[in-house]
Every structure is written in structure tokens, then in C-alpha cells.
Chains A and B, each alone.
Chain A
Amino acid sequence: MTQLDVTCREFVEFLDDYVAGALVGDRLASFNDHLAACPSCVAYMKTYRDAVRMGKAALAPSSEPVPAEVPEDLVRAILLARVRG
């Protein structure tokens, strides 16, 4: 953290908005200034982005192939439940 207005706590609190490009004007400038002077927030932001990317990749629909079919006993149970109402 520097003598600038934005603290590490505030930077992290609004990190989602910052990385999403939702900050503008003086506020964005303050956050940029903070980041330029704070190695801890640089490291935090980098690993935060990595965590988000890894979360998306690890559970992405494409990472788990769609099963070729629904297990036969489950198909039967579903159709039977329909008949029974």
C-alpha cells in the first residue's frame, strides 16, 4: 500500500469490478496507481485471476464429457414414475 487513497483492503474488495473493467474515471486511476505501487496486490490479483480461470476450467461442461446414455435403471425409474403419476 502507498500513501494513495486506495488501501489493499479496498483494492481487494473491489477487485472483481477492477478486473471486469467496471471502474472508471478517478476511481480507476486510483486503483491503477495503487496497483503500480503495491507488489502484494499485484500478486493477489494474479493468483485471484488464476483461481477463477482454474475453477472455470476444472468444472467446465466440456471438461466432463456428457454420458453416452442415462443408466438404464434410471430411465426405467423415470418412465415408471410417469405412469404412476
Chain B
Amino acid sequence: MTAEIPFLARLREGDATAYETLVRSHGPRMLSLTRRLLRNEADARDALQEAFLSAFKAIARFQGDSQLSTWLHRIALNAALQRLRTRKRLAEESIEELLPAFLEDGHHARHPPEWLAPADALLERREVREIVRTAIDRLPEGYRTVLLLRDIEALDTAAVAELLQITENLVKVRLHRARQALRTLLEPCFRRGNY
């Protein structure tokens, strides 16, 4: 942190070289984050640009309470989430059809088939990761976002609730439903005899 103080001073003075250094040194990790969340190159680039412009405007107020990289990560995360909110696609799509079905007495409507191998074994195959990514992309946006923030970015429930401005209970509900839906989407690919 202390090592960043002279660099921060240069930024606050408007040193163009410092700004270029900032973009070149922190940009790659931020771009990786926006790509992961948005899964669309144009959106990821736009979000990165928006994140840096937000950071430039706020640099004078940055107190150095956290590392510069942590602060920038949070700004990039917010920029990506803002872009997600503006996406119309699948925004309010129902997830019900991807949840397990039950009979009136509460039994499973059908016995869930076993998968051909444990997750670890499946993940050794390169194409499996792409199948899983595609399935995550098919989740309705509101559920996909919660899944990404909790399971991929490893934020806790309270942090996700704050970022998305929803209740912690709703975060939990959406996460569980997203995981169930992901399971449903993966089942045809990995059930025994189908891969």
C-alpha cells in the first residue's frame, strides 16, 4: 500500500504517463473479470472503458484504504453489473421449466439419472468446460449473475445482496435455483450413455 502512495500522487496530479501505466498494469485483470461476467467481447471492452473512466473521476477520493488493485476490481465488477442490468435478453425469463418436477405427494416426478463420471473426471476433458460455460450462459440473467458472483467471484451473500440491491434471502433463493437449473441443463450432456 505504502509503495502505491507516490503513484497515487502522480495520478492525482494528472500525470498522463501514470494513467497509461495504470491502464496497462491493471487493465488485463479487469478485462479478464468483465469478460468472465459478460461473456461478450464488445460488452467486456465497453465495461472496462466505463470502469476506468469511473476510476479516473474517483481517483481523487480514493483514500488508499485498500490496495489499488482491489479498488479497481470492485469498480470493474460494478461496471460489468451495470452493463448486465441494461441487457434485455433473458432478463425476466422464467426459470421454472429448469427446476426439478415433483408429483403431488412430493416424490420426484422421475428418478434423476446418474452421470457417467464424477465432476472431476469430466472436467479433465477440455470440451466439458465449454459445455458448462454454454449452460451457464443459458441461465436467465438474474440467476446467472448471482451464480457468477457467489460461485465464481466467491463473494458472500451479503456482498452480492448489496451489489444487486436485493435481499440476502433473494440471493440465496436465486443461487439455489440457478444451481438446480445448471444441473438440469447439464444432465442431457452427462447422463450415463449420452456422452
Contact = CB atoms under 8 A, between A and B. Distances in A.
Nearest to B122: A54
A49 B179 CA distance: 9
Interface stretch (B1-9, B83-91, B101-109): B101-109
Given A54-B122, A54-B123, A64-B32, A75 B105 contact: no
Interface of B: 16, 19-20, 23-24, 27-29, 31-33, 35-36, 45, 48-49, 52-53, 56, 100, 102, 105-108, 111-115, 118-120, 122-123, 128-130, 132-133, 136, 147-148, 151-152, 172, 175-176, 179-180, 182-183, 186-187, 190
A42 B149 CA distance: 28
A64 B126 CA distance: 12
A55 interface: yes
Interface of B, helix, strand, loop or mixed by DSSP: helix
A55 B176 contact: no
A43 B111 contact: yes
Interface of A, helix, strand, loop or mixed by DSSP: helix
Interface of A: 1, 7-10, 12, 15-16, 39-41, 43-44, 46-61, 63-71, 74-75, 77-79, 81-83
